[in-house]
Amino acid sequence: MKIFITILFSLLLVGCPKNEEGGFTTLSKGNLFGNGAEGFKKENIVISSKKEWKFFLSKFDTTNKVSKTFENAIDFSEEMIVICLDKVRSSGGFSVEIIEVIKEASTTLIKVKFKSPKPMDMVNSVIIQPYHIVKINKKNKKIKFLEL
């Protein structure tokens, strides 16, 4: 399964469309599977250096089989990474999505939407942790997250 996720990352990176309206480019979106062995809690992460990116990827892909293309996909002199992780969930039907990046005078606002299944929805019985990884233009402004 981890090999499949690694291949998926590589394919997403190559065919990744630019979201001009939202101000970001999606690198990867999906679910971590398992019991949260990566050690992430529900959190928003901003990465602005190659060293931080490599550290994150080493935790994110616990088998350390991340392709060089994905690892080196960012020019940190001009771009930065924003990662939104949901908490570990005990069933399918959950997701997290960065929907918009808004440039304000002194801050950059990142709108994040969390979705969960409705009470009568049929979902898989699986342990997941939804995530969304995007790259944005580097900014010297404070970054704020707005959860919807």
The pLDDT assigned to 22 comes to 62
The pLDDT assigned to 68 comes to 55
What is the tens place of the pLDDT at every residue in 15-25? 444 444 468 99
The pLDDT assigned to 122 comes to 94
What is the tens place of the pLDDT at every residue in 102-131? 988 889 999 999 999 999 999 989 999 999
Residue 22 structure tokens: 């939202």
User: Closest Cα partner for 103 from 28, 31, 15, 21?
Assistant: 21
User: Closest Cα partner for 82 from 7, 2, 137, 9?
Assistant: 137
The secondary element (H helix, E strand) that includes residue 55 is helix 50-60
What is the tens place of the pLDDT at every residue in 41-51? 999 999 999 99
| Lowest model confidence (mean pLDDT) among 31-45, 88-102, 124-138 | 31-45
CA–CA gap between residue 116 and residue 67 (Å, rounded): 31
